[in-house]
A and B are shown apart, each in its own frame.
Chain A
Amino acid sequence: MGKRVLLVEDEPNIIEAIRFILNRDGWRVHTHSDGRDAVNVVRQTRPDVLILDVMLPGKSGYDILRELRTEFAEAELPVLMLTARGQMKDRELAERAGASRFMTKPFSNADMLEAVRSLAGA
């Protein structure tokens, strides 16, 4: 299929795991670890699906998402939000920021794959 996923996440082991899972399914996975220039990277990469961690150095995932959603080009981009804090409050924050889907760490690999697939297909 050759669809592209951009993973913005700062934990190296988690990057490695997600990359493995998606690569195996035929996705091309781009990664980025810094929150500060994440918006630019998204613009340049123009991924089919964006996987965005909340706790990023420099800028929170919510802020990045809000910024993306105000841009016309990225308003429709499917975004999967990842967070290590699984509270209701975080889910609400993510929805309000415009997340297409929300997933709590730790996740099952199958769920991750399913989520990315459905986001790309939608």
Chain B
Amino acid sequence: MSTLNILIAVCATYVIFLFLIAFMAERAAMRGRGHWLRSPVVYTLSLSIYCTGWTFYGAVGNAARSGLEYVTIYLGPTLVMVGWWWVLRKLVRIGRTQRVTSIADLISSRYGKSNTLAVGVTILAVIAITPYIALQLQSVTLAFEVFANEAAAEAGTAIGQAQDQTALWVALGLALFTVIFGTRNLDANERHHGVVMAIAVEAVVKLTALLAVGVFVVWGLGGGVSATLERIDASALGHWQMNGGRWVGMTLLSAAAFLCLPRMFQVLVVENDDEGHLRTASWAFPLYLMLMSLFVLPIAVTGLDLMPVGTNPDTFVLTVPLSQGKEGLAMLSFLGGFSSATSMVIVAAIALSTMVSNHIVMPVWLRVSGGGAKVSGDVRHVVLLSRRLSIVGIVLLGYFYYRLSGGGEALTAIGLVSFAGIAQVLPVLLGGIFWRGATRTGAMAGLTVGFGLWLYTSFVPSFGAGMVFSEALLSHGPLGLYWLRPEALFGIQGMDPTLHALLWSMSLSTITFFVISLITFPAPLERLQAAQFVSIYQHTGGPRSWTGGVAQTEDLMIMTQRILGSHEAQALFQREARRQGLSGDLPEPTPEFLELLERELSGSVGAATAHAMIAQIVGGMQVSVEDLMAVADETAQIMEYSARLEAQSEELSRTARQLREANRKLTRLSVQKDAFLSQISHELRTPMTSIRAFSEILRDSAELAPEDQVKYASIIHDEAIRLTRLLDDLLDLSVLENGQVNLNIRQGRLGAVLDRAADAAMASEAGRKLTLVRKAKSEDFVLTTDLDRLSQVFINLINNARKYCDADNPRLEIRVFRGEDRIFLDFVDNGTGIAAEARDLIFEKFARVSDQRAGGAGLGLAICRQIMRRLGGEISYLAGESGAAFRVILPAEVAMAAE
């Protein structure tokens, strides 16, 4: 009994020692002195929770049973660390930038912050890890049993069935430790320095223990390296034939488990302080694993040699030293195993409790408590309580599994069942961080299929025949369906059960995941998260997803206080307010701030819950075009789309401009149209006034002088002509406008047409003397058009110059030149020209820009424009000349036809 008592005392001391270490590490970290806590060595050692009680005891047992196969358990992680270093780096980067709290959180966050997915992964993890925790309890119990048996043999008394009690005490002790150090901080993203430190110490203890036993075996018992090698060679283990398929399968499985196990994710990603630590770990951790496996085979061989047949090879690490009377060494070895088991349980419990609490308890509590995000009151105690209860629950669950399964299975087998279970997450995890096309639906489907198959082919059968599945079901399939036998699906028999389960579950779940992902369409948020995760190195900024301004900062503050605590929440808000340059404590709810807040909160309650809580206050989010632009691969597509939009909007604004222009013109025209009747009236009444007045004078005045009579009569005559001309113009314009004009097409030289026009224009008395400047040579070609109409235009232009040119010596230059397909005739005078704003009005009817009453009715240019239109040309005001300048354009055919 004394050994057992000493053992218990040593155990207790060791646990107290661990408490102290954890406590001191926490203190140091709190005082900011814990730089050494964040060293790559500690990080690497903390990874050693991969080596659990299972590997500590089981590896030797495994070697004793299956030779070198135990190597696969170390090979997988080594390959991951060395070869898949970049995968880990990506995981760590994602974990840090997205403030991921667990593997369930990562997957939920990647697939559009879906809580359903998080719940799925959590349940899967709990179910898969429970046997593993049971395994640790079993290993500790087994070790106790070894000592108890030894003591009983010494004392000659039999010990009772104290195993269950031992397991319970161990379970409770572990739960206590985990609750104390695992739930000190709420923010899972804040490192658990105490726990990590304790784990690192335990890592050293277990390595030292195994190495010590190994050294004792090789040099103390085996007589040196060469003798030991000979002995290995001689034993059956040396001749063991390796099964290639199983090797590959096991290596794959352990690699997958290394990436997916919640506790590995916890230490690898969540507890990671610095991405650079991975670089050290990538060689140091394989080295650690190598040292751990170095003496496995010698211990196994020696154990098989020395120990009586029937001794459990899983306990060789303890029984070999004990049998040689080395109780101290055995004690050390026990502590090594104890360390392995406890560190695993602690971290697994922390990881699982975070998942359970964040994804199951908190959402349910938030819903049940009714108030949702806006109710005040600290929820931190709820979160902490739920984590603590989760920890106790998970550890007890492991205990009950241990009780249920009876601890009969060999350690390795249970471990492999666990590994195979958690490996179901791998396709979804890798797909999520490397494949943009992976969708939430695909992930759900893949996980469901993989999980279901694992339950059916591996987990449930692991309880043993008759526990859940009956003997008949196992050997003949459900309902007699032979091909559905859990351990020989689709008739594939004779395969290793683990490999069988792994093959079916992984392959079918992967296929399901890919196919469903391909045929389903991701939601915008999923797409955004996919881009964030897959291209984590490009997008270090968060997704711009919240639309600010709607949120009430106070509501956000209340909510944040509940989760982070008032002190931290206030500090966070004040910091942000200062950053925004505001004087108060409440910052503007900008999208950037909301994002930051979401990340902070997600560190405490997980991405999905944090997202839901903020959404409750902000009222929703929107994926802006800008966000989508960040989705690199789709950028080209979007750029094109946005270019199209831009072009459209440009066209719209152009149209709008044109419409505005047209409207302005119409308004002006409408005013003119309004004035048209009164203009006509005025133009007609003015000559009629003279005619009436003078005809009355002639009629009523008998004694008029003959010369007066002649004078008045000619006034009447002139005014009558003016009236006629006006009516002619109006009719002319009307005919031209209605397109009823008949053109009289003839041939003639341009020079001659201009001559005639100049003569006609100069003949009228009205207007001043005008000098015409022409270049005969340029006018020397034949035109085929309505020469009379063209001449009418020229006359009008020359007349206008005579009437309106305000230079001292009015001069009109007529420049003729021929372009590619048109003939240009510019009429430029040396006056002051026409104001820019009037230029587009002068071609309208009755538009008279000048104040001077020049005798015309204001129809001349309107008629000219109509004529030029009929002739296939145009007339316009020529800007850029100093004087009034008109350009007459004729189509080139008019000239070509004649030549």
Interchain CB contact under 8 A, A20 and B715: no
Contact at A87–B692, with CB atoms within 8 Å? no
- Contact with B685, one of A13, A21, A85, A110 (Cβ below 8 angstroms): A85
Interface residues of B in 667-688 (CB under 8 A from A): 678, 681-682, 685-688
B3 within 8 A of A: no
Stretch at the interface among A62-70, A73-81, A100-108: A100-108
Interface residues in A26-51 (C-beta closer than 8 Å to B)? none
A19, B681: Cα distance in complex, Å: 24
**Cα distance, A92 to B330, chains bound together (Å):** 125
Contact B693 A106 (CB under 8 A): yes
Given contacts A57-B851, A57-B852, A86-B681, A24 and B689 within 8 Å (CB-CB): no
The distance in angstroms between the C-alpha atoms of A109 and B719, with both chains bound, is: 17
> Smallest Cβ distance from B697 to chain A, in angstroms?
6
* Residues from chain A with Cβ under 8 Å of B678 in the complex: 85, 87, 90
Q: Are A16 and B852 in contact (CB under 8 A)?
A: no
Residue of B nearest to A33 (CB): B853
Q: Is the CB of B688 within 8 A of A106?
A: yes
| Complex: A18 Cα to B690 Cα, angstroms | 9
| Closest chain B residue, CB of each to CB of A90 | B678
Number of interface residues of B (CB under 8 A): 23
Q: For chain A, which range describes its interface: under 10, 10 to 19, 20 to 34, or 35 or more residues?
A: 20 to 34
A24 & B693 in contact (Cβ 8 Å cutoff):
no
Q: Within the complex, what minimum Cβ distance (angstroms) separates B693 from chain A?
A: 4
CB within 8 A of A18: which of B693, B718, B851, B852?
B693
A11, A84, A87, A108: which contacts B696 (Cβ < 8 A)?
Answer: A108
Q: Is the CB of B697 within 8 A of A84?
A: no
Does B161 belong to the interface (CB within 8 Å)? no
CB-based contact A21/B681 at 8 Å? no
Q: Are A13 and B719 in contact (CB under 8 A)?
A: yes
- B691-709 interface with A by 8 A CB criterion: 691-694, 696-697, 700-701
Query: What residues of chain A lie closer than 8 Å to B700, measured between beta carbons?
Result: 109
CB of B711, distance to nearest CB on chain A (Å): 9
Do A21 and B693 have beta carbons less than 8 Å apart? yes
Which residue of chain A is the closest to B685 with respect to CB atoms? A84
Distance in angstroms from A75 CB to nearest chain B CB is 29
Task: Contacts A16-B715, A57-B851 given; indicate if A106 touches B692 (C-beta within 8 A).
Answer: yes
Contact B852 A106 (CB under 8 A): no
Least CB distance, A86 to chain B, in whole angstroms: 7
A15 to B39, CA, bound (A): 112
Bound form: Cα–Cα A17–B425 in Å: 111
- Asked whether, in the complex, the Cβ of A84 is within 8 Å of the Cβ of B851, the reply is no
- Which A residues are CB-close (under 8 A) to B852? 57
Chain A residues with CB below 8 A from B682, complex form: 55, 84-85
Contact A14 B686 (CB under 8 A): yes
| Interchain nearest-CB distance for A111 vs B (Å) | 10
Contact across chains for B697 and A21 when beta carbons are under 8 A apart = yes
Chain B residues 743-788 with CB under 8 Å of chain A are none
Q: Which of A20, A58, A90 has the most CB of B within 10 A?
A: A20
Q: How far is the CA of A17 from the CA of B718 in the complex (A)?
A: 14
Chain B residues with CB under 8 A of A58: 851
Give the residue name and chain of the A residue nearest to B678 (CB).
A85
Q: Give the Cβ gap from B269 to chain A, nearest Cβ, in Å.
A: 87
- Could you say which of A17, A21, A55, A85 contacts B690, with CB atoms under 8 Å apart? A17
Is there an interface contact between B853 and A17, defined as CB atoms closer than 8 Å? no
- A105 contacts B686, CB within 8 Å? yes
Contact B692 A108 (CB under 8 A): yes
A18 / chain B contacts, CB cutoff of 8 Å: 693
A57 to B690, CA, bound (A): 19
**How many whole Å from A13's CB to the nearest CB in chain B?**
4
Task: Determine if A17 and B681 form an interchain contact, defined as CB atoms under 8 angstroms apart.
Answer: no
Tell me the minimal C-beta distance from B595 to chain A in angstroms.
Answer: 68
Q: How far is the CA of A106 from the CA of B240 in the complex (A)?
A: 134
The answer to whether residues A105 and B851 also contact, given A17-B697, A84-B682, A87-B678 and a CB cut-off of 8 A, is no
**Alpha-carbon distance A84/B677, docked complex (angstroms):** 12
Residues of B close to A55: CB separation below 8 A? 682
Name the residue on A nearest B701 (C-beta).
A24
Using Cβ atoms and an 8 Å threshold, which residues of chain A touch B696? 108-110
- B692/A13 in contact, CB under 8 A: no
Q: Tell me which of B685, B693, B851 contacts A17 (CB under 8 A).
A: B693
Is the Cβ of A105 less than 8 Å from the Cβ of B697? no
Kindly report which residue of chain A lies nearest to residue B682, judged by CB atoms: A84
> Would you call A84 and B689 a contact (CB within 8 A)?
yes
Do B853 and A57 touch (CB < 8 A)?
yes
- Collect the chain B residues with CB atoms within 8 Å of residue A90's CB: 678
Q: Are A17 and B686 in contact (CB under 8 A)?
A: no
Residue on A nearest B711 in the bound complex, by CB: A16
Closest residue of chain A to B694 (Cβ to Cβ) is: A17
Could you tell me if B697 and A109 are in contact, using CB atoms closer than 8 angstroms? yes
CA distance A104 to B681 in the complex (A): 11
Report B682 CB to chain A, min CB distance, Å: 4
Bound state CA distance, A92 and B269, in angstroms? 92
* A67–chain B nearest beta-carbon distance, Å: 18
Residues of B within 8 Å of A108, CB to CB, are 692, 696
Let me know if B681 and A106 touch, CB within 8 A. Answer: no
A84 touches B693 (CB 8 A): no
Nearest chain B CB to A30's CB is how many angstroms away?
19
Partner of B689 from the list A10, A85, A87, A106 (CB cut-off 8 Å) is: A106
Residues 84-99 of A contacting B (Cβ, < 8 Å): 84-87, 90
The chain B residue sitting closest to A55, CB to CB, is: B682
Query: Please, how many angstroms separate the alpha-carbon atoms of A106 and B851 in the complex?
Result: 23
Determine the chain B residues whose CB is within 8 A of the CB of A17 once the complex forms. Answer: 689-690, 693-694, 697
Shortest CB distance A37–B (Å): 13
| Complex CA distance for A10 and B855, rounded to whole angstroms | 11
* With A17-B697, A20-B697: A11-B681 Cβ-Cβ less than 8 Å: no
**A11–chain B nearest beta-carbon distance, Å:** 6
Inter-chain contact A13/B697, CB cutoff 8 Å: no
Closest CB-CB distance, B494 to chain A, in whole Å? 112
Are the C-beta atoms of A109 and B693 separated by less than 8 Å? yes
Residues of A within 8 A of B692 (CB): 106-108
Write 26 A-B pairs (CB below 8 A) sorted by A numbering.
A10-B853, A11-B686, A11-B690, A11-B853, A13-B690, A13-B719, A14-B689, A17-B689, A17-B693, A17-B694, A17-B697, A18-B693, A20-B697, A21-B697, A24-B701, A57-B851, A84-B686, A85-B681, A86-B685, A87-B681, A105-B686, A106-B688, A107-B692, A109-B693, A109-B697, A109-B700
Q: Can you add 9 more A-B contacts, CB < 8 Å, to A84-B686, A110-B696?
A: A18-B693, A24-B701, A84-B685, A84-B689, A86-B681, A104-B685, A105-B686, A108-B692, A109-B696
Report, nearest first, the 6 A-B pairs whose CB atoms are least far apart.
Answer: A17-B693, A13-B690, A106-B689, A84-B685, A106-B692, A105-B689
Residues of B within 8 A of A (CB): 678, 681-682, 685-694, 696-697, 700-701, 715, 718-719, 851-853
Contacts from A to B (Cβ < 8 Å): 10-11, 13-14, 16-18, 20-21, 24, 55, 57-58, 84-87, 90, 104-110
